């Protein structure tokens, strides 16, 4: 009887030993053949602007589920980021390295790859307006200065005539030269987008347009002196100068007549004296 009990005890102990060994072998095989791993997406390098957000997703495999997660930024624990997905929305521009750590039920642990996130500053827009007032037909230049965001930028200018009218597409560069065609108040507007489709608006830029100033009635109705025919330079002598010339001719004639008369008188006087001198000589010869 004692021998039978001893054999049964040995048999039970052997079966328990074999069962424990089998369980350990199965655990060892499971551990070696299915190692705990985790990856995240998106991977590699990502660029974003302030105000944007990006969602990361962890993919764990192997080990013994269920899993627990903890997300990290630049090696630091991110509070409350303990699920398989994580939405990243930064508070300031910088470069971040995002990763996740996973633990399984048996406390096995795995750390994911690190992905780099470059966060640019807020997209900002400033407008230089040449003038707030102009006249019909006189151009006004608007110049846009953009900072932040992710270049390159795209531009779209608009304008409308207040209070009615729809916005119409204008120029597509950073400089817009606007020439109004009628009087009124125009509303100029600019929309800028960066490479990530983040956009900002300049807001309404009013431009007051008036008609060109017209000449005054005095300057337009009164003739200038040069336009009157009587004030042009005369091309012929005046009647006064003609009468002066006609009076000058008789004076010359009188002078000539007086001169001729004087000469004739002198000739007669000389001839008379000559005769008086010759008469005594002829009587003396006759005697």
Domains of the chain: 26-120 (2.60.40.10), 124-210 (2.60.40.10)
> What separation in angstroms does the CA of 235 have from each of 221, 228, 238, 240?
29, 15, 9, 15
> Cα dist. 91→51, 75, 122, 208, 258 in Å?
8, 17, 11, 41, 126
pLDDT at 165: 76
Which structure tokens are listed for 18?
């074999």
pLDDT of residue 237: 45
Give the rounded distance of the alpha carbon of 41 from its chain centre. Answer: 39
Question: Among candidates 121, 102, 116, 147, which has minimal Cα distance to 54?
Answer: 116
Distance CA 252, CA 258 (A): 10
For residue 271 the two structure tokens come to: 């001839």
Are 180 and 136 in contact, with CB atoms under 8 Å apart?
Answer: yes
What pLDDT was estimated at residue 32? 46
pLDDT means per 10 residues, the chain with 287 residues, are 55 54 44 81 95 97 97 96 97 97 97 97 97 97 97 95 81 95 95 97 96 66 43 45 44 61 71 61 37
pLDDT, tens digit, for every residue of 234-285?
444 444 443 444 444 455 556 665 666 777 777 677 676 766 655 444 333 3
Sign (positive/negative) of CA torsion 92, 93, 94, 97? positive
């Amino acid at each position: 009887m004692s021998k039978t009990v001893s054999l049964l005890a040995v048999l039970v102990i052997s079966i328990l030993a074999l069962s424990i060994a089998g369980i350990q072998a199965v655990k060892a095989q499971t551990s070696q053949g299915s190692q705990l791993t985790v990856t995240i997406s998106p991977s590699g390098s990502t660029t974003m602007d302030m105000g944007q957000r990006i969602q990361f997703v962890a993919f764990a495999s192997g080990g013994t589920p269920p899993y627990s997660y903890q997300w990290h930024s630049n090696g630091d624990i991110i509070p409350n980021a303990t699920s398989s997905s994580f939405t990243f929305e930064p508070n300031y521009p910088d470069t971040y390295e995002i990763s996740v750590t996973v633990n399984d039920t048996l406390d096995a642990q795995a750390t994911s790859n690190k992905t780099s996130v470059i966060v640019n500053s807020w997209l900002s827009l400033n407008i230089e307006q040449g003038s707030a007032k102009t006249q019909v037909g006189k151009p006004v230049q608007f110049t846009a200065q953009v900072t932040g965001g992710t270049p390159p930028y795209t531009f779209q200018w608009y304008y409308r005539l207040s209070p009615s009218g729809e916005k119409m597409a204008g120029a597509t560069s950073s400089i817009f030269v606007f020439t109004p065609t009628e009087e009124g108040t125009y509303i100029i507007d600019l929309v800028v987008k960066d490479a990530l489709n983040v956009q900002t608006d300049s807001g309404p830029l009013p431009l007051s347009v008036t008609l060109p100033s017209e000449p005054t009635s005095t300057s337009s109705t009164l003739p200038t002196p040069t336009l009157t025919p009587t004030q042009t330079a005369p091309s012929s002598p005046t009647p006064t100068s003609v009468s002066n010339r006609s009076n000058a001719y008789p004076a010359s004639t009188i002078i000539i007549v007086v001169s001729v008369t004087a000469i004739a008188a002198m000739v007669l006087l000389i001839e008379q004296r000559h005769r008086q001198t010759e008469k005594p000589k002829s009587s003396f010869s006759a005697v």
